[in-house]
Amino acid sequence: MAPVRVILTYKDYEALPNDGRIYEIHEGELYVTPAPTPYHQITTRNLFRPLDAHVRARDLGEVLFAPIDVILSDITIVQPDLVFIEKARLRQISSRGIEGPPTLAVQILSPSTAQVNRTTHFQLFARHGLPYYWIVDPDARIIEAHVLREGSYEVAARATGPNPVSLPPFPDLHLIPDAIWP
């Protein structure tokens, strides 16, 4: 007899322990990773600061950092490292988290998450219509900015080095990639 696949929902997700691990549900299946490393957190902070300052100075919306639940469906809940929600989508912020895809999700790669960030999240975000997805690779010291076009992501930019760059969805952002690495 074949095993019965159990599909987890948001209700199951709410019952998970608060133990420092990162829990996500991908199409009904539980995914668990350890808490981020200090190197990962420093990179996240160093990217959050200029991104948040840019968004606030222009009144573009909100930038939030993990842990924050992004509820893409009742059976798909993720926790990107950073999210940007443009003003037109701010109504998606609820007491549970972000209901539906934000404008931008940012994932900082680490050894325990690199594979899921480059494959599973890529597919889930595209399937749920997330317009922009950045993958930040601290080891390679590169930021990949992806744009959703016709249901799949295309690389819009690869940013590295000491020169300011603008990455979608921010045409006038002057981010210095080298400034975010610890």
In a domain, 172, yes or no: yes
pLDDT (0 to 100) of residue 47:
98
Number of domains forming the structure of the chain: 1
Three-state SS for the chain is: CCCCCCCCCHHHHHCCCCCCCEEEEECCEEEEECCCCHHHHHHHHHHHHHHHHHHHHCCCEEEEECCCCEEEECCEEECCCEEEEEHHHHHHECCCCEECCCCEEEEECCCCCHHHHHCHHHHHHHHCCCCEEEEEECCCCEEEEEEEECCEEEEEEEECCCCCECCCCCCCCCECHHHCCC
In a domain, 25, yes or no: no
In a domain, 105, yes or no: yes
Residue 41 domain boundaries: 36-179
In a domain, 135, yes or no: yes
In a domain, 136, yes or no: yes
Give pLDDT tens digits for 53-90.
999 999 999 999 999 999 999 999 999 999 999 999 99
In a domain, 94, yes or no: yes
In a domain, 10, yes or no: no
pLDDT (0 to 100) of residue 137:
96
pLDDT (0 to 100) of residue 41:
93
In a domain, 122, yes or no: yes
Return the CATH number at 157. Answer: 3.90.1570.10
pLDDT (0 to 100) of residue 119:
87
pLDDT (0 to 100) of residue 23:
93
66 in Cβ contact with 35 (< 8 Å): no
